[in-house]
């Protein structure tokens, strides 16, 4: 679809599409990333919630097969991102806050992974080097 509307070219670095604009990317949101971060957030919520109904859901998820369990999916996604599987539980913090914190950490790790892929792409070196030149307004880039 993006090729048809001439938004990207043949040899373009695909991870750059999903890097935020202030960091030199194109700022698109990826559906798969949004799905994965939601799974990671739900996983954290299930592990940190004290609600008896949520605990029942957690026990149900633990008994499901690895192919369909939300817990195993979230652990696989966190492992791919290089995150710790079991989040630290703070008794004073609500389960929703723990989930938001974990989703934010997943987002940071995913963006770092994409930036590393972009740096390694053979056609991206010229643009990336241009962004690091002293005459480029770094503050203007960050403020968008």
Query: Could you report the per-residue pLDDT of 88-142, keeping only the tens digit for each?
Result: 666 677 888 888 888 888 888 888 888 787 777 766 666 666 767 777 776 665 5
List pLDDT tens digits, range 9-22.
666 677 777 777 77
pTM over 0.95: no
136 three-state secondary structure: coil
Short-list 50, 56, 55, 59, CA closest to 93: 50
Q: Are 128 and 119 in contact (CB under 8 A)?
A: yes
């Amino acid at each position: 679809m993006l090729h048809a509307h001439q938004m990207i070219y043949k040899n373009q670095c695909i991870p750059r599409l999903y890097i935020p604009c202030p960091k030199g990317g194109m700022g698109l949101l990826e559906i798969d990333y949004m799905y994965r971060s939601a799974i990671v957030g739900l996983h954290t919520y299930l592990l940190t919630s004290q609600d008896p109904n949520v605990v029942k859901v957690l026990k149900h998820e633990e008994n499901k097969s690895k192919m369909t369990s939300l817990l195993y999916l979230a652990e696989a996604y966190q492992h791919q991102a290089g995150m710790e599987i079991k989040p630290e539980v703070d008794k004073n913090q609500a389960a929703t806050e723990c989930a938001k914190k974990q989703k934010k950490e997943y987002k940071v790790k995913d963006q770092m992974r994409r930036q590393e892929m972009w740096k390694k792409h053979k056609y991206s070196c010229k643009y990336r080097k241009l962004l690091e030149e002293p005459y480029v307004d770094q503050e203007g880039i960050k403020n968008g």
